[in-house]
Amino acid sequence: MPAKRALVTGAGRRVGRAIALELAGRGFDVAVHCLRSVDAANQTAARIRDLGRNAVVLRADLADGESAGGLPARCREALGGLDVLVNNAAVFEPTGESFDLARWNRTLAINLTAPALLAFHAAPLMTEGGCIVNIGDIAADRPWPSYAVYCVSKAGLTALTKSLAAALAPRIRVNGVAPGVADWPQDYDEEKRQRITARIPAGRPGTPEEVAAAVRFLAEDATYVTGVVLAVDGGRNIAW
């Protein structure tokens, strides 16, 4: 069987790295996207090669439409094709006390417009059976007041996922994964982490590897699933 090829955005660190490694462990060659985290992306690529798979690092600013839209073709050129697109890269910043139009526009550009552009340009390059997985957030349904633009972008990504699933069927499946706590933001202190964990029915935070396993399931095993956003949150969405 020829290798499958995946493009994972924001794959240098954290959840994106776990997704890239999970797919590589299942026989995928992986295009590791990054912008500034070049060293981390190269480390991810090296670990993929240690698993016996091919890897390439692709830099692109997802806030720039031309740069984002060109990624699928660059992946196909580097790896010989494209079977799975994982839109993982995102900006997670507080809205702030005053409306910052530049921050609002950049967050929407990276978190929502870029996944749309990537899907639009990737779909014609994929063979039948291709798959797109968008990484959302449970905050799309229960938004945080201090992260309005982030939550808006993830709610839009949920709608985009379902719209693309209908538009690209039956040739390409489109699904999403909505993590709860998968990897703590660095500015969350221990008290805040414990307070959040206390509201998770599973009794613990999740891990990047658990999100990655869900992505792999949707990309490889869930051949009769499309238009679904799978919550990987330890039940937090039912016990907010």
CATH code, 138: 3.40.50.720
Quote the crossing angle between the two packed helices 208-216 and 14-25, to the nearest 10°: 50
Q: How many domains does the chain have?
A: 1
pLDDT single digits (tens) 138-196? 999 989 888 999 999 999 999 999 999 999 999 999 999 999 989 887 778 889 999 99
The Cα–Cα gap between 212 and 21 comes to 8
Q: Give ∠ CA 135-55-48 in degrees, rounded to 5.
A: 80
Residue 79 pLDDT > 90, yes or no? yes
The Cα–Cα gap between 136 and 113 comes to 13
3-state secondary structure 14-49: HHHHHHHHHHHHCCEEEEEEECCCHHHHHHHHHHHH
Residue 42 pLDDT > 80, yes or no? yes
Cβ pair 148, 205 in contact under 8 A: no
What are the beta bridge partners of residue 174? 132
The DSSP call for residue 221 is: I
Please, which pLDDT band fits residue 240 given cuts at 50, 70 and 90? low
Task: Note the pLDDT of residue 1.
Answer: 58
Task: Note the pLDDT of residue 98.
Answer: 84
Mark whether 150 is an active-site residue: yes
C-alpha distances in angstroms, 89 versus 45, 55, 81, 221?
Answer: 17, 18, 21, 23
The residue-averaged pLDDT of 74-96 equals: 95
**Which range of residues forms the domain containing residue 178?**
4-238
The residue-averaged pLDDT of 125-138 equals: 96
Residue 224 pLDDT > 80, yes or no? yes
